[in-house]
Amino acid sequence: MEEHRKVKDISINKDDDLQSIFRQLSESGGFESRNLADGLEILSTMINDKDCLKFLSFVAAITSTGLRGIITDMLRRKMFDVVITTCGALDHDIARYFSHYLEGSFTLDDSKLLEENIHRLGNVLVPMDSYGPIIEEKMQMFLEEAYKSGKREMSTADITKMIGEHLGEGSFLYWAYKNNIPVIVPGIVDGAVGSQIWLFTQKHRDFKLNVVSDSELLSSLVFKAKKSGSLMLGGGISKHHTLWWNQYRDGLDYAVYITTAQEFDGSLSGALVREAISWGKVTQNAKQTTIHAEVTTILPFLYQALLSRIK
């Protein structure tokens, strides 16, 4: 028992900065405050580690919210080397670049929203005209341009680079393209952009989507990495694809996972980072933590504290 630190009360004054609050969280004993403080320490070390290949994975839903701005800024600052996400993130990035979403409520009448041609994503409202028609128009235009330039086969990394090239500074795909950060979407057919690729192949039968090529890209990065680390925002395929590829180099050396899922249903989304150690997807001596929190609430504070620690 003498090895354990004493629990200290948190004392906050009006002049305290965020760093001092995080420092107090690290000494407060419990419960998620410790994990949040540990997450800041791990991310600071990971991002400052020049030998580390850094992954960012996230679920699509957060890009329908203002958190898209933080994702965009992370890539603008080149804080990560690889992005793994889902098709919806591409959908929302295109839709919000050319149009807008609206604030809503979890308690709105969905039947009435349907009559008004509005989709509901949690408490975010997505006008139909801001989503499907825009994505269809832009994707067909982007793909047609690529086809006319001679492209007959593209990976998902090629697709996301193509999209980013046609967008601007408010887009996370633009900054990924600008900074040569590959964005890989293993489940790309599960969304509007993927459906538009399929529709494009109906007109151009010689055009192919090559997802195996993404594996070639990931292998070229992972196998030569001295170390690797990841910030994983939400679970599902984006989280698992990140873990899966890092098992080939004996696992992640740094891992921070933010989730609201619980582990007792055996799901991948609910699995804590430590479970991945048993699969060889995270190293036994990794600096790792799972933060049980809603990401749009927590990440802005974590990110602000992180910025002052980046060399």
Assess contact for 243 and 188: CB atoms under 8 A.
no
Could you confirm whether 8 is annotated as catalytic? no
Q: Which amino acid is at 93?
A: D
Nearest 5 degrees, angle CA 207-CA 216-CA 199? 25
**Which one of 148, 281, 287, 311 is the catalytic residue?**
281
User: Which residue has tokens 């969304």?
Assistant: 191
- Nearest partner of 39 among 298, 227, 288, judged by Cα: 288
Q: Are the beta carbons of 131 and 119 closer than 8 angstroms?
A: yes
Residue the block writes with tokens 């010689």: 206
Label each residue of 153-218 as H, E or C: EECHHHHHHHHHHCCCCCCHHHHHHHCCCCEECCCCCCCHHHHHHHHHHHHCCCCEECCHHHHHHH
Which residues are the active-site residues?
281
